[in-house]
Structures are given as C-alpha cells and as structure tokens.
Amino acid sequence: MRGEALLTARGITRRYGSVQALEPTDLTVTRGERIALIGPNGAGKTTLLSILAGVGQPSDGVIEWSGGTVQPVGWVPQ
C-alpha cells in the first residue's frame, strides 16, 4: 500500500562525549519512496544510516519500523 510509513524516526541524535555527531533528526520513509541523504563531510549521514541499520545506537530519539522488529541488514562501513 503506497503512502504507508515504513520507517519513522523522531529526534534521533548521537553524541560522543561532548561532540554532537548527529543533530536532532526526523525522518519518515513511506512505501515506494526513494530517498537520498546528501550533505557535507561530517554532517552525520553515515551516523544516521548506521543507527537506522541497527549497527549504532542513538543517544536520544525514537525509531519505529512498520511491522515491528527489523531483520538484520548488511552494513559495510566506509
């Protein structure tokens, strides 16, 4: 069903000590939608993707996947 939210992330942040690696981020991905993350080096793109893939943990925020638990996904760091 097109338009159904598959992923909803609200207020996702990541801190390493006093360093804020990811500013509060909201993201909704709906079925059939294609997205791209763009931004300068150090903007937090890889940090966000690793959190969404379940490799990293957010410092704050909520991630909801449609259908409950997400199956493990492949992750190849840069």
pLDDT at 15: 97
Encoded tokens for 69: 């638990």
pTM metric for this prediction: 0.84
pLDDT at 65: 87
CATH class for domain 5-65? alpha beta
Match 């763009």 to its residue by tokens.
38
pLDDT at 46: 93
pLDDT at 51: 93
SS3 68: coil
Encoded tokens for 9: 């992330």
Q: 19-78: per-residue pLDDT in tens?
A: 999 999 999 999 889 999 999 999 999 999 999 988 899 999 999 988 776 666 777 877
Backbone φ, ψ for residue 44 (5° rounding): 105, 10
CB atoms within 10 A of CB 25: 17
